[in-house]
Amino acid sequence: MAEDKKTIGLTEANKKVMDQLVEKAGFGRDMDAAKFAFALAVNRGAEPGQVEGAGTIWNIGSFDEGGDLKALIQNLYPSAEFPYRALESLVNAGFSLLGAELKTNPELRVEDLLKKEAVTP
Amino acid sequence: MKGDEELLDTVEQIRKAKFPDVPADLVQKLLLIEANYTENRVEAYRRIEKAIDAYLEKQAAAKEAGD
Amino acid sequence: MFVIRSITLTDFGPFKGEQRIEFPAGSGVSIIYGENMRGKKTLLNAIRYALFGKVITRGDRPIALHQIGNWETAKESGKYGFKVVLSFEHENAEYELTREHRPRAGVVTPQTGVDYQQEWFLKKDGDVLGPDQRDTEIARIMPEAVSRFFLFDGELLQQYEELLRDESDMGRRIKESIERILGVPVLTNGRTDLGELFKDAQKRESKAAQKNQKTQSLGNQHGALLKQRDGLQERTDRLTKDLEVLRAGKTSKEELLRKMEKTRALLDERARLQDEITQTGVVIKAKEERRRDLLTVAWKGLLSNRIRLTREALERDLQKNREIYERALVSADIAEKLKKALADGECSTCGQGLSEKAKERIDALVKETLPKQERAKLEGTIQQTEVRIAALKQSEAAGNAEVLEEVQNALDDLKIKKATAEGRLAEIREQTKDLDEAEVRKLYMEYDKMVTEITILQEGIKKQEESLKEVNENIGKVEAEMAKYGDADLATERARKELCDKLRSLFAEGVGAYRDRLRGKVEKDATALFVQLTSEPEYKGLKINESYGLTIVHQDGTDIPVRSAGAEHIVALSLMGALQRNAPLRGPIVMDSPFGRLDETHTTKVVQSLPSMADQVMLLVYESELDPKQARNELKGKLRKEYRIERVSARHSDLKPVA
């Protein structure tokens, strides 16, 4: 493929994690949960990669209105050829991380996670 | 009967102290009537009246005899 | 004193056919043993039936008499109805009281009460008394109003507790019964009767005065005043009665309102809670929205560190490149001048010629400067970096973890608050679900109205009493005038009047004095009995109130306000014993379930005290309540007779003497 993605999707497993999070954590939209997952992955030092089996969920136009996310990814990962592809992989990576967190702590609170992430350098 | 005695005694003490000119036997008679006819008020009243009348008649007769 | 000799039952309750209990002469205790539902209470009711034509069940409720007859007899032989014959002795006379219920003539299978007729008669020393005499005798020997102190149902103890509650209806009735048994009505009735006789004597005095010319006008005046007084008295009495009714009504309304107080408070709380829940719901919604908004940008907070680091790195690069660029710009300018100097062979500034060494140095410097292409590229890089930094700044956001946590904690608290309020509201809704709120309001209004009416009545009565006082004073004045005349008839009536007046005053004073004396004696005797019966060493005795209610007093002088059913039992028995000792009216004590809630220690004490409580005592017990061996041991020679009620079938019991 010679062009960037126009949609963002999740694997089945990651979608389940997202649904769980949205229900428990109180995210208004699943998109907000997805951005949260992306941020977590970045904060934990994940690198963009390939995603297998991701179904389409969001349109880039609605996910990254204004293109700030694209600009951000280009800044954080200047070597990434396709920013939205990178975004998709980071979102999925983030949900995998969140899935693991939920497994150890089913009553996970967003606030606690934020505190934990702030402390860890 | 102790209970009766109590009642009689109470009244007698008051009679002696405050109403000495009221005859003791009349008072006793009246108390007995009331005790026997507590449930029959009409009969009690009739007999009380009769007892008082009888006493007053006796007094009047005694006074006349004395005159 | 009333002493029962025998009770003969015919088809009464489970006692099929004719059955008899005999009581030997002499004082003592007789015991009738029977398991539950065999007919113990029926025996108590048999005596009640014979005396008063009534049968009652638990809670003092009357039983329809047509249901009393023995079922088996009716079924087997078609014979309906029942009879009780009570033989007793009183004041050296032998009595036989017979009462029976038979189907009316022509009724073969009676169904209801109207199908029966009751007949009863009383024999005194063998002669049947006339109906009026019969009624008078029974009323004199055992008035129904005081029967509760002789026919004692251990299960109706709470009645005695009512005596401690001043204005209760039941308390008032029991107080009247107690005073009745103690003989107080002898004085109160006497006071009333003599009062009437006094008034009657005054009227006769009037008439006598009117007959005499000299005293006619005074007599007329007197008569008129008496009439006026009677009118006023009648009105006062009527108002007083109305006031009593209103007061009783007020008391029962107060009782209702006391219950309503809770309801009203509940209703207020309900409204408050509904408000609170609504408000809290609104705040929760707002906070949840805020939380959602915070979560929408929470991801930025997560990245802020990373973004900051990247931005700082870029800023450092930018700084470095800018410096290089600045230097490059300056170099370019100098390089141009140096090139010209090389070409010209002289310094472009000062015009001096250049040496070979200088030419070599200048040449080296020129070779060091950045070529134009390179400079342009650097410029591009700088611009790019600036754009990147700007973009990063845009995405940089302070972490909002603390705010989020604050909002979440607030939400948790609010949700708990709301849930608690909802729980409480549900409770209140349950409690008030059958409530008619209009009724509640109506009750409050009626109560207020009553209070106003009572005040008006009280004022009215006061006015009447003032008028009465005035009239009585006037009557006194007229009577004093009449006394000046020496008319014989007038004198007779005056003497009568004065005697009645004195007797009335005597009886009136006697009421108060006798009551005080009695209360003192009842308290003393009840205390003596109580101390014998109780096993609690710290109980000093009993204290009596105006209504003959008894409170237990601790040895430190304080009252024991609340007591157990067992203690209630003992206090009731103490009262009964004290009344028996102080009453002009004496009779047997027949006790059903006398030991009720008492433990073994107290049961023993009660059994030991029985012979001192009354001359004749009859106990109706079941064996686990009172062990026959224990009874025999405790009572010894005072145990006169034992019977057992034996089961033949569910509807047939037999009374058998214990050998």
Q: What is the pLDDT of residues C134-155, one digit of tens each?
A: 988 898 888 887 787 888 877 6
Sequence letter at residue C478 = V
The single-letter DSSP state of residue C63 is: P
Mean pLDDT of B16-34: 95
Cα angle A118, A120, A121; round to 5: 95
Q: Is residue A36 part of a domain?
A: yes
Residues in chain B closer than 8 A to C496 (CB atoms):
52, 56
pLDDT of A25 above 60: yes
Q: Residue A28 phi/psi, 5° resolution?
A: -70, -45
pLDDT of C166 above 60: no
Distance between CA atoms of residues C526 and C517, nearest Å:
14
The single-letter DSSP state of residue C149 is: G
Question: Which tokens belong to C326?
Answer: 């600045």
- Residue C81 makes CB contacts below 8 A (sequence gap 6+) with C11, C69, C100, C101, C102, C103, C110, C116
CB count in 10 Å sphere of residue C462: 12
Length reported for chain A: 121
The most confident of the ranges A51-55, C158-162, C204-208 is C204-208
Question: Which tokens belong to C19?
Answer: 């059955």
Interchain CB contact of C293 with A (< 8 Å): yes
- The chain B residue lying nearest C510, using CA atoms, is B11
Asked if C620 and C41 count as a contact pair (C-beta separation under 8 A), the reply is yes
Contact flag A72-C401 (C-beta cutoff 8 Å): no
pLDDT of residue C167: 56
Distance between CA atoms of residues C414 and B5, nearest Å:
78
**Domain of A81, in residue numbers:** 22-46+56-119
The single-letter DSSP state of residue C108 is: S
Number of domains in chain A: 1
Length reported for chain C: 659
- Per DSSP, the residues of C449-476 read HHHHHHHHHHHHHHHHHHHHHHHHHHHH
pLDDT, chain B, mean? 90
Distance between CA atoms of residues B60 and B66, nearest Å:
10
Interchain CB contact of A75 with C (< 8 Å): yes
Residues in chain C closer than 8 A to B59 (CB atoms):
495
Q: Per-residue pLDDT tens for C235-259?
A: 999 999 999 999 888 888 887 887 7
pLDDT of residue B1: 37
Least confident of A7-21, A28-42, C108-122, C361-375: C361-375
Q: Is residue A30 part of a domain?
A: yes
Cα angle A79, A85, A87; round to 5: 85
- The chain A residue lying nearest C306, using CA atoms, is A43
Closest CA to C475 of C269, C250, C183, C224: C224
Q: How many CA atoms lie within 13 A of C235 on its CB side?
A: 17
Question: Which tokens belong to C45?
Answer: 């009711």
CA–CA min distance B1, chain C (Å): 6
Q: Is residue A51 part of a domain?
A: no
pLDDT of residue C237: 94
Q: Is residue A3 part of a domain?
A: no
Contact flag C391-A71 (C-beta cutoff 8 Å): yes
Question: Which tokens belong to C261?
Answer: 């107080």
pLDDT of C491 above 80: yes
Mean pLDDT of C429-438: 83
CA–CA min distance C144, chain B (Å): 10
Interchain CB contact of C614 with B (< 8 Å): no
Instruction: Please name the member of C299, C306, C408 whose beta carbon is closest to the beta carbon of A109.
Output: C408
Mean pLDDT of C81-102: 94
Task: Tell me the three state secondary structure of residue C117.
Answer: strand
pLDDT of residue C162: 63
CB count in 10 Å sphere of residue C234: 11
Mean pLDDT of C25-34: 90
Instruction: Please name the member of C193, C499, C514 whose beta carbon is closest to the beta carbon of B44.
Output: C193
pLDDT of C638 above 80: yes
Query: Which residue is it, tokens 């975004």?
Result: A87
Q: What percent of chain C has pLDDT over 70?
A: 97
Q: Is residue A13 part of a domain?
A: no
pLDDT of residue B16: 96
Query: Which residue is it, tokens 């008619």?
Result: C436
pLDDT of residue A23: 86
* Best to test chain B binding among C499, C500, C519 (most B CBs inside 10 Å): C499
Distance between CA atoms of residues C459 and C450, nearest Å:
14
Q: pLDDT band for position C50 (50/70/90)?
A: very high
Contact flag A26-C288 (C-beta cutoff 8 Å): yes
Asked if A37 and A46 count as a contact pair (C-beta separation under 8 A), the reply is no
Question: Which tokens belong to C227?
Answer: 């009439």
Question: Which tokens belong to A104?
Answer: 């150890």
Instruction: Please name the member of B2, B31, B40 whose beta carbon is closest to the beta carbon of C190.
Output: B31
Which of C279 and C261 is assigned the larger pLDDT? C279
Asked if C587 and C558 count as a contact pair (C-beta separation under 8 A), the reply is no
Mean pLDDT of C552-578: 85
Mean pLDDT of C32-39: 84
* Best to test chain C binding among B48, B50, B53 (most C CBs inside 10 Å): B48
Mean pLDDT of C390-418: 85
Instruction: Please name the member of C292, C303, C404 whose beta carbon is closest to the beta carbon of A42.
Output: C303
Q: Is residue A76 part of a domain?
A: yes
Mean pLDDT of C552-558: 91
Helices then strands, each counted (H, E), chain A: 6, 2
